[in-house]
Chain A
């Protein structure tokens, strides 16, 4: 039973996550760039995506503090890093630049594979290359 639920849970989460990206318009890179165009023709609507997602997840996270373990797994894999270091800031800065250039972050990029556009695949290959470059130069993620 737990084994089956360990399959179904992430599968269902993936479907709902993907629908959320599509319904909100996060999958449209120009819309995302419009959201980042704070000093130009700013389109603030995407703020609502983050706001509602954060509120709902924070409720779930609060709930998990009262649980010994997740429903279908032995432990909560709580992120253990707490330091504010150069890795965090440098990584976030690089990601922000790439995100602003095209308007694609990893979730929408993966989902947009389904559009069949070659340019999306090009972006994904570049992203995976970036993963490797970081892995072998800066070092494995903790």
Chain B
């Protein structure tokens, strides 16, 4: 519980630094689209943010050791999920960070609705998958 609170606080602080420092919303799907769809004028901050994000990994490993990453190894599942996440975050203008943290933090109705929607669909997907697995 304390790790989650502290981690969330760090995420909030990071988003606050980005907003108050350079006036940008810390949404990762936006960063991805800026970087890889080559959006002009948005690339430089996204690139520095991306480099910083990657740099956090060795820093964390140095102090706390390698983090646990448990994930399915089903390639089809990984590809389908990746495509859906890529499409959905692009179409819906945001993900857990842009809508879930920054959007709700500024009391945006759009973001509150988006977050509710992706949470519900995430919960239903896990429910359906677990039910199917239990049935096999």
Q: Which residues of B contact A39 (CB under 8 A)?
A: 123, 127
Number of interface residues of B (CB under 8 A): 106
Interface string of A124-138 (1 = CB under 8 A from B): 111111111111001
A105 and B7 CA atoms in complex are apart in Å by 16
- The size bracket of the interface on A is 35 or more
Given contacts A95-B89, A107-B97, A130-B84, contact A81 B110 (CB under 8 A): yes
Interface string of B115-136 (1 = CB under 8 A from A): 1011111111111011000000
Given contacts A38-B123, A101-B125, A131-B37, contact A72 B8 (CB under 8 A): no
Q: Which residues of B contact A127 (CB under 8 A)?
A: 32, 82-83, 85-86
Q: How far is the CB of A129 from chain B (nearest CB, A)?
A: 6
CB of B40 closer than 8 Å to a CB of A: no
Say whether A114 contacts B57, CB under 8 Å. Answer: yes
A70 and B22 CA atoms in complex are apart in Å by 5
Q: Pick the contact of A141: B21, B93, B105 (CB < 8 A).
A: B93
Interface string of A47-82 (1 = CB under 8 A from B): 111111111111111011001011111011101011
Given contacts A15-B55, A102-B72, A102-B81, contact A87 B20 (CB under 8 A): no
Q: Pick the contact of A102: B20, B57, B78, B99 (CB < 8 A).
A: B78
Interface string of A85-116 (1 = CB under 8 A from B): 00111111111111111111111011111110
**Pair count A-B, CB < 8 A:** 480
Q: Which residues of B contact A115 (CB under 8 A)?
A: 57, 66, 69
Q: How far is the CB of B67 from chain A (nearest CB, A)?
A: 5
A123 and B81 CA atoms in complex are apart in Å by 7
Say whether A19 contacts B60, CB under 8 Å. Answer: yes
Residue in chain B with minimal CB distance to A18: B56
19 A-B pairs, CB-CB below 8 angstroms? A17-B15, A17-B53, A22-B64, A37-B127, A38-B127, A40-B126, A50-B104, A53-B15, A58-B107, A61-B105, A79-B110, A82-B108, A95-B121, A113-B54, A120-B71, A130-B83, A133-B87, A135-B37, A138-B87
Q: Chain A interface (Cβ within 8 Å of chain B)?
A: 5-31, 33, 36-40, 45-61, 63-64, 67, 69-73, 75-77, 79, 81-84, 87-107, 109-115, 117, 119-120, 122-135, 138, 141-142
Q: Chain B interface (Cβ within 8 Å of chain A)?
A: 1, 3-26, 28-29, 31-33, 36-37, 44-46, 48-60, 64, 66-73, 75, 77-93, 95-97, 99-110, 113-115, 117-127, 129-130
